[in-house]
Structure 1
Amino acid sequence: MLNRILKLAVCVVPAALIVGCATPKAPYDYTAFKAAKPRSIVVLPPLNNSPEVNAGNSFYAQVTYPLAEAGYYVLPVALVGETFKQNGLTSAADIHAVDAKKLNEIFGADAAMYVTITNYGASYNVLNSVVLVTANAKLVDLKTGKLLWSGTASASNNEGGNSGGGGLIGALVAAAVKQIIASTTDASHPVAGVASARLLSAGTPNGMLYGPRSENYLKP
């Protein structure tokens, strides 16, 4: 009986302490990814499902770095954006609807990265103001249209928690100050950079595989 109580207690502690009770994610199936062996990637303008109008541009400006670091040739986003504009495509939704083989004809890339932003910006409650950015992505083979990989990631400016003093009044003042800063500056932009790195960097559990320009390419 005592053992059963102890086991139950372990799984009902506060959320910050119950990581050990969570069911691990199943390993991602990289069969299609490894078979395709993409060398070059065109990143399409992100589909923005958040209320922040600048979310797409902010995230788009930071997506090439983690992919290049992972060992892929990534087409410059300015060139990609201008190419779509010259062809009358300015909406991310319309661009995401373009046929995979057509994208291959236009850009000559092996694969396309489709990014969707679901959260971007600050939310305010009584005791805190938190900037949160969440996005998901999928990598598609442009020759076959097959899904090679998909993932999601989030980042916030409050991941370390609020360790400041001052009690309730101090927490209220700190939250108000953070909200003012978030509303007068693009506090979400650096957070989007963290989310982008988490989403698209290679070598993370269930994340992107290393590309052919990386010394870690094809390593187990």
Structure 2
Amino acid sequence: MKMIKLLLCLFAVVLTGCVTAPAKKDLSAFNTAAPRSILVVPVINKTLDVDAPNYLLSTLTIPLAEKGFYVFPVNTAKFVLEQEGFYEGEQIHNQPPEVLANLFGADAVLYVTIKRWDAQYALITTTVTVEFDYRMVAKDGTEIWKANQKMQYAPQNNNSGNPLAMLITAAINAAVARAAPNYMPLTQQANQQVFVLGPNAIPNGPYLKAKE
């Protein structure tokens, strides 16, 4: 029996790399903190796209609210932080979480770092990539949850049976994706994966339970 299992795994390596599901993370710290409200602070941007932080910030509140948490409006939070002299994401992330939480009366603070936000062109294909690091800290400074998510998209070309037509279509699709890459669907999918759908998604908040 052991030999059969070994052979099956070796066969799976050829096909899929014998991929195993990621181990589920311990969420006891999150459950102990039991946050009801979450402050989403401006993000750190490690890419060259200066618009990326605003696009990402606009997508973070919806999945958190759908999970049953009160989320402070990001534009209001940004304005208040600027009045306190905090303008840049890096500067804000370096502040003690207790200070940020107390400004709003928040139970937890969500920090997000943009690691990838780019479109890479290769021959007749353009691959759009986003990658984010997420980290949530309770109002006492305890880290209660973290995640990383990377999403990629390459335009698919319809198989018309005509090699020349397929080549032209692929080149056009790649050029369009490179000229105006659409990052928002990937960003929304990444947020859904880490907050709602993935194996390490955050537990439901109190306001979702109240509806059930």
TM-score normalised by length of structure 2: 0.86
Contact 1:123 / 1:130 at 8 angstroms: preserved in 2?
yes
Query: Which residue of the other structure, out of 10, 18, 42, is the alignment partner of 1:45?
Result: 42
Residue 35 of structure 2 aligns to a residue whose secondary structure is: coil
Residue 209 of structure 2 aligns to a residue whose secondary structure is: coil
Counterpart residue number, 1:211: 205
Contact 1:139 / 1:150 at 8 angstroms: preserved in 2?
yes
The percentage of aligned residue pairs carrying the same residue is 29
Name the structure where helix makes up a greater proportion of residues.
2
Counterpart AA for 1:37: A
Counterpart residue number, 1:102: 99
Counterpart AA for 2:12: V
Counterpart residue number, 2:144: 148
Label 1:68 to 1:23 Cα distance change in 2 as closer, same or farther (>3 A): same
Contact 2:38 / 2:72 at 8 angstroms: preserved in 1?
yes
Label 1:76 to 1:82 Cα distance change in 2 as closer, same or farther (>3 A): same
Label 1:25 to 1:194 Cα distance change in 2 as closer, same or farther (>3 A): closer
Counterpart AA for 1:213: Y
Runs of 4+ in structure 1 over 3 Å off: 2-7, 160-169, 175-178
Q: Distance in 2 between matches of 1:122 and 1:129?
A: 6
Contact 1:46 / 1:56 at 8 angstroms: preserved in 2?
yes
Counterpart residue number, 1:9: 11
Contact 1:47 / 1:92 at 8 angstroms: preserved in 2?
yes
Give CA deviations for 1:23-69 in whole Å, capped at 9, x if unaligned. 33222111111111000000111111122111111100110000000
Paired residues for 1:59-74 under 5 Å = 59-74=56-71
Deviation at 1:189, TM superposition (A): 2.4
Gaps of 5+ in 2: none
Contact 1:122 / 1:179 at 8 angstroms: preserved in 2?
no
Deviation at 1:131, TM superposition (A): 1.4
Residue 100 of structure 2 aligns to a residue whose secondary structure is: helix
Aligned length: 208
1:80 to 2:77 alignment: yes
Deviation at 1:91, TM superposition (A): 0.7
Give CA deviations for 1:100-126 in whole Å, capped at 9, x if unaligned. 111122011000001011111211101
Aligned-pair Cα RMSD in Å: 2.5
Counterpart residue number, 2:19: 22
Contact 1:129 / 1:175 at 8 angstroms: preserved in 2?
no
Residue 63 of structure 1 aligns to a residue whose secondary structure is: helix
Contact 2:158 / 2:166 at 8 angstroms: preserved in 1?
no
Label 1:162 to 1:176 Cα distance change in 2 as closer, same or farther (>3 A): closer
Contact 1:41 / 1:113 at 8 angstroms: preserved in 2?
yes
Contact 1:63 / 1:197 at 8 angstroms: preserved in 2?
no
Paired residues for 1:177-188 under 5 Å = 177-183=173-179, 185=180, 187-188=182-183
